[in-house]
């Protein structure tokens, strides 16, 4: 019964006896359940990636980068989606975070949709390392995150439209809770103000990054007494929605209305006219998120908690000076 | 030392004593490593999905279907890719299968690229249930698989081109080792033969399903003394490669050359002209693969080991009668 007392951590066992019994059990291949799990994790670790949905080029590109970076490490990639038309994204996110923090994971890369600061507490309490891509809200200084230079990208795109002669530039934005959406709006405003052009509230349309928002907001913008001559969409998906709305109105891109997107997803060069857009290095952001997550897991310091990778304006065929149409 | 003898499965222990010690250890929370793993698997099971790459619409759509079907089950989705320009796909597949069969998984859905019949033996030996999407080679009657009616889809597409008046129809195919590629070629031949049209070997071009193959084979087809007036590509990616090659040659789709794809991925309706293509229900195939895999895991019988879901010809703007161009 000495063994029973050791196993149940009873105090009435001599230290040497306890040690001998524990060593014997360890050598036999029997291990406490917790240690068995830890050992497995070392051998075939799991990294979770959570994205809103796989049907946007944005999530897909990030997933590609994460997959490519994890491949040589031996970690396996666990993929979850939180957004679909048939699901409540906030509920999905809660379900997922609960599952993650109860389950087995070595760390997580999170592209979240709804405000999540409280939910991240659940991960912190369970000591699950994580990195955020495109943060939502103010997460505080201790949360590692990776994003793109949204402000600079939006400013460059707006400056380009201004340089073509546009003065009424519509802006279709993302959810105001997303830092990247706020930064893009701010870059747009900044370019207009620097050029001495008034920021017109009726031309600024927040929403989400999906194509139906691009479609609806373009219809609304074109119904204004003085419609814009150019539309800067906060995502390529929105820009394709804008293409659809303009086609329906019999307007030609770029002769009647110029369109700029944001992301440079796989479809941008394939559509007609090919989409001028702000390139986010999404796959690179995914790779960087993996790199920083592995550092956190290994307990190594990060050179910077918040990293922004550079955006680039990619000029294709969807912009022209205003007043080119018949 | 009785405990030591029990743990090491030595024969010199009385049965009752062995039983008492084993029960005591079990009650204490100590468990053999193997049992600890099994218990975890029940709580937060893992299903592996292996696809060639995430940069084809084909894999993406299947992944969407698998993710959607797994979401309500509580299983987590582990994603792996075997194909990228910088990796040897056959080596990648071996690495992945080795990792999978050593690691922790409840079952796998495999979209494989290279011939894999011997590698599946490794999964079988370890009693890992699996379902194949779009089988490679002859896997035998005991391998559950999900595909589409490739033969019927290819026949319908070729019949459509014949009905427009085309008599020289180029065919760009996939790897001959893939059952779906073989079925599509056979459907193409069958339609031509049924219409009394000769199958011309120079018009049949096998390759793989990537866009660069579509591009190169289209250039080769257009260099023939008597080039085709229509091209039936084995995938949407190939069809987009064909678009690029024809644009480069100054040929207009569909006025000079008609193009039909296969898959109906997300980009098909977005390109100009919108691509006429054979729709494979890829997401539905992914969902079906999950359904059958869960049945295999639960030990329930499958109504059919090999399932083919219906394809549909989606007519858009990339086909016209021959001789419309200037």
pLDDT for residue B100: 74
Residue A284 has pLDDT above 60, yes or no: yes
Residue A5 has pLDDT above 70, yes or no: no
Quick count: other Cβ atoms within 10 Å of Cβ A232? 33
Residue B231 has pLDDT above 90, yes or no: yes
Confidence of residue A102 (pLDDT cuts 50, 70, 90): confident
Task: Confirm whether A40-148+282-309 and A150-279 share one CATH topology.
Answer: yes
Confidence of residue B114 (pLDDT cuts 50, 70, 90): low
Pairing type for strands B312-314 and B276-279 reads: antiparallel
A190-238 pLDDT per residue, tens: 999 999 998 999 999 989 888 899 999 999 999 999 999 999 999 999 9
Instruction: Give the 3-state DSSP-derived string for chain B, with helices as H, strands as E and coil as C.
Output: CHHHHHHCCCCCCCHHHHHHHHHHHHHCCEEEHHHHHHHHHHHCCEEEEEECCCCCHHHHHHHHHHHHHHHHHCCEEEEEECCCCCCCHHHHHHHHHHHHHHCCCCEEEECCCCCCHHHHHHHHHCCCCEEEECCECCCCCCCCEEEECHHHHHHHHHHHHHHCCCCCEEEECCCCCEHHHHHHHHHHHHHHHHCCCCCCHHHEECCCCCHHHHHHHHHHHHCCCCCCCEEEECCHHHHHHHHHHHHHCCCCCCCCCEEEEEECCCCCCCECCCCEEEECCHHHHHHHHHHHHHHHHCCCCCCCCEEEECCEEECCCCCCCCCCCC
pLDDT for residue A21: 58
**Residue written as token pair 């394809």:** B311
Q: How far apart are CA A321 and CA A54, in angstroms?
A: 36
A38 close to B (CB below 8 A): no
Task: Write down the CATH number for the domain with range B42-148+282-310.
Answer: 3.40.50.2300
Residue A243 has pLDDT above 90, yes or no: yes
Strands (E), chain A: 30-32, 46-51, 76-81, 107-110, 130-133, 145-148, 169-172, 204-205, 230-233, 258-263, 276-279, 306-309, 312-314
Confidence of residue B24 (pLDDT cuts 50, 70, 90): low
pLDDT for residue A202: 96
B99 close to A (CB below 8 A): yes
Interface test with B, best of A38, A44, A253 (most B CBs within 10 A): A44
A31-79 pLDDT per residue, tens: 333 333 433 444 568 999 988 877 777 888 899 899 999 988 889 999 9
Domain at A40-148+282-309, CATH from 2.40.50.140, 3.40.47.10, 3.40.50.2300, 3.20.20.150: 3.40.50.2300
Residue B12 has pLDDT above 80, yes or no: no
Cα nearest neighbour of B3 on chain A: A3
Estimate the crossing angle of helix B236-248 against helix B211-222, to 10 degrees: 50
Residue A27 has pLDDT above 90, yes or no: no
Q: Cβ(A208)–Cβ(A217) under 8 Å? A: no
pLDDT for residue A39: 37
Pick from A87-91, A145-149, B144-148, B204-208: least confident:
A87-91
DSSP letter (8 states) at residue A269: T
- Fold of the CATH domain A150-279: Rossmann fold (3.40.50)
pLDDT for residue A267: 84
Q: Residue range B161-175: average pLDDT?
A: 96
Helix (H, G, I), strand (E, B) or coil at A268: coil
Confidence of residue B84 (pLDDT cuts 50, 70, 90): low
Residues from chain B that touch A5, judged by Cβ atoms under 8 A, are none
A250: left (phi over 0), alpha (psi -120 to 50) or beta: left
Q: How far apart are CA B101 and CA B105, in angstroms?
A: 8
Q: How far apart are CA B12 and CA B33, in angstroms?
A: 24
Residue B113 has pLDDT above 50, yes or no: yes
Helix (H, G, I), strand (E, B) or coil at A258: strand
A266 close to B (CB below 8 A): yes
Residues from chain B that touch A78, judged by Cβ atoms under 8 A, are 46, 76-79
pLDDT for residue B34: 36
HSE-CB at A35 with a 13 A cutoff on CA atoms is 11
Closest CA to B128 of B145, B146, B103: B103
Q: How far is CA B222 from CA A108, B202, B230, B245, in A?
A: 50, 11, 10, 9
B32-46 pLDDT per residue, tens: 333 334 334 445 689
Residues from chain B that touch A3, judged by Cβ atoms under 8 A, are 3, 21, 24-25
pLDDT for residue B42: 44
pLDDT for residue B15: 63
Confidence of residue A289 (pLDDT cuts 50, 70, 90): very high
If you average pLDDT over every residue of chain B, what do you get? 84
A25 close to B (CB below 8 A): yes
* Ranges of each domain in chain A: 40-148+282-309, 150-279
Residue A119 has pLDDT above 80, yes or no: no
Pick from A76-85, A182-191, B219-228: least confident:
A76-85
A window 236-255, beta carbon within 8 A of B: 240
B69 close to A (CB below 8 A): no
Helix (H, G, I), strand (E, B) or coil at A172: strand
Estimate the crossing angle of helix A33-43 against helix B33-43, to 10 degrees: 80
**Residue written as token pair 């939006």:** A154
Residue B316 has pLDDT above 70, yes or no: yes
And the tokens for A201? 């509230």
pLDDT for residue B177: 81
Q: How far apart are CA A208 and CA A162, in angstroms?
A: 25
Which of the pair, B149 or A134, is modelled with greater confidence? B149
What is the percent of chain A where pLDDT is above 70? 81
Q: Cβ(A109)–Cβ(A66) under 8 Å? A: yes
What is the percent of chain B where pLDDT is above 70? 81
B79 close to A (CB below 8 A): yes
Q: Residue range A276-287: average pLDDT?
A: 95
Cα nearest neighbour of B79 on chain A: A77
Residue B26 has pLDDT above 50, yes or no: no
Instruction: Select the highest-mean-pLDDT range: A98-112, A124-138, A232-246, B259-273.
Output: A232-246
A63 close to B (CB below 8 A): yes
If you average pLDDT over every residue of chain A, what do you get? 84
And the tokens for B189? 């031949």
pLDDT for residue B279: 96
Q: How far apart are CA A280 and CA A313, in angstroms?
A: 9
Please tell me which of the candidates A30, A46, A64 has its beta carbon nearest to residue B55.
A64
The correct answer on CATH 3.40.50.2300 for the domain covering B150-280 is yes
User: Furthest-apart CA pair in chain A: how many Å?
Assistant: 96
């Amino acid at each position: 019964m000495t063994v029973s007392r050791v196993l149940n951590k009873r105090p009435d066992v001599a230290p040497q006896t306890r040690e001998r019994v524990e060593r014997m059990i360890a050598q036999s291949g029997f291990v406490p359940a917790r240690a068995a799990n830890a050992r497995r994790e070392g051998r075939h670790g799991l990294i979770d990636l959570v994205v809103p949905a796989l049907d946007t080029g944005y999530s897909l590109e990030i997933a590609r980068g994460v997959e490519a970076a994890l491949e040589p490490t031996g970690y396996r990639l666990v993929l979850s989606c939180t957004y679909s038309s048939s699901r409540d994204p906030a509920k999905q996110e809660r379900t997922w975070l609960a599952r993650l923090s109860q389950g087995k994971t070595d760390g997580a890369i999170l592209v979240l949709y709804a405000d999540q600061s409280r939910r991240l507490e659940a991960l912190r309490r369970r000591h699950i390392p994580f990195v955020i891509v495109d943060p939502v809200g103010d997460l505080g200084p201790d949360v590692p995150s990776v994003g793109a230079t949204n402000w600079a990208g939006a400013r460059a795109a707006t400056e380009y439209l201004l340089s073509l002669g546009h003065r009424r530039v519509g802006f279709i934005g993302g959810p105001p809770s997303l830092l990247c959406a706020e930064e893009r709006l701010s870059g747009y405003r900044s370019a207009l103000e620097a050029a001495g052009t008034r920021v017109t509230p009726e031309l600024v349309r927040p929403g989400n990054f999906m194509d139906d928002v691009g479609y609806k907001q373009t219809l609304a913008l074109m119904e204004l007494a003085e419609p814009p001559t150019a539309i800067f969409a906060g995502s390529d998906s929105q820009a394709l929605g804008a293409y659809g709305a303009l086609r329906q109105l019999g307007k030609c891109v770029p002769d009647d209305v110029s369109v700029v997107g944001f992301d440079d997803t796989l479809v941008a060069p394939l559509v007609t006219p090919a989409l001028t857009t702000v390139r986010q290095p999404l796959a690179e952001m995914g790779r960087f998120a993996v790199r920083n997550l592995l550092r956190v897991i290994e307990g190594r310091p990060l050179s910077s908690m918040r990293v922004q990778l550079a955006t680039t304006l990619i000029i294709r065929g969807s912009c022209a000076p205003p007043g080119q149409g018949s």
